[in-house]
Amino acid sequence: MPQVASTRWCPTPEQLMILEEMYRGGIRTPNASQIQQITAHLSFYGRIEGKNVFYWFQNHKARDRQKLRRRLIRQQQQQQNQQQQTQQQMEDSAAAIRLPNENPPQFLHQGALEDTTNQVNFTCQTNIWKKEGMEMGNPAMAYGQDWVVMMDVCPTKCCRPLKTLELFPIKSTGLKEEFKSSKPFPCSTSTN
């Protein structure tokens, strides 16, 4: 079967990996010469043209932003919800009878959430959420019960919730680590 020339570029896994690595490395809108070089390199792994590289970065960047925006929106909605009925969602295990009259949660630290996407503010709310997908299929809650057990059995160590072990710099011991970016994106999007 003579491979039916696909109408559109279909990146090989290596190409994809390299592109993603570059993206993580900070590349967002490569200029012409960069595109040329990237294309040259990637062509080693399969057919590719400059426009493919260009489009890939365009799309990837755009969809990254989109994802962020969605998250923000969802967050806002969530906070709304939470302000209204935080307790509702509280635990079910014990003391199920508690009147929901506590104060709203105070984890509204969203001020800290740097709104680096400050160009997001205008009218692009048109129909980003036209697709309300995200159902994600069946959760297959295999062993939802084990939680108690697990968290409970382990206590040899965790029963001591006391120390604020450094959590964020956490890393698994020796696994290969890729880039370390202190910020989501070392190069913020153009602040216009």
Which residue in 94, 95, 134, 170 binds DNA (CB under 7 A)?
134
The residue type found at 29 is T
| Residue of 13, 144, 169, 174 that binds DNA (CB under 7 A) | 144
Work out what residue 176 binds among its own copies, DNA, none; the CB cut-off runs from 5 to 8 Å by kind: its own copies
Return the one option of DNA, its own copies, none that residue 131 interacts with (CB less than 5 to 8 A, by type).
Answer: DNA
65 binds DNA (CB under 7 A): yes
Residue closer to its own copies by CB (options 124, 151) is 151
The reply to whether 143 sits near DNA by the rule CB under 7 A is yes
Specify the DSSP element, H or E, that contains 54: helix 50-85
Three-class DSSP labels, 79-124: HHHHHHHCHHHCCCCCCCCCCCCCCCCCCCHHHHCCCCCCCCCCCC
Q: Are 88 and 136 in contact (CB under 8 A)?
A: no
The whole-angstrom separation of Cα 108 and Cα 143 is 32
d(CA 30, CA 38): 9
Window 169-188: residues binding DNA (CB under 7 A): 178-179, 183-186
Nearer to DNA, 5 or 163 (CB): 5
Tell me the CB-side half-sphere exposure of residue 124, using CA atoms within 13 A: 12
Stretch that binds DNA, among 2-10, 79-87, 91-99, 160-168 (CB under 7 A): 2-10
Q: Which does 33 bind (CB under 5 to 8 A by kind): DNA, its own copies, none?
A: its own copies
**Residue 54 dihedral angles phi and psi, to the nearest 5°:** -60, -50
Give the one entry of DNA, its own copies, none that residue 111 binds, where binding means its C-beta sits below a cut-off of 5 to 8 angstroms depending on kind.
Answer: none
* Binding of residue 91 to DNA (CB under 7 A): no
Q: Confirm or reject binding of residue 137 to DNA (CB under 7 A).
A: yes
Residue 120 interacts, among DNA, its own copies, none and using kind-specific CB cut-offs from 5 to 8 Å, with: DNA
Are residues 191 and 117 in contact, defined by beta-carbon separation less than 8 angstroms? no
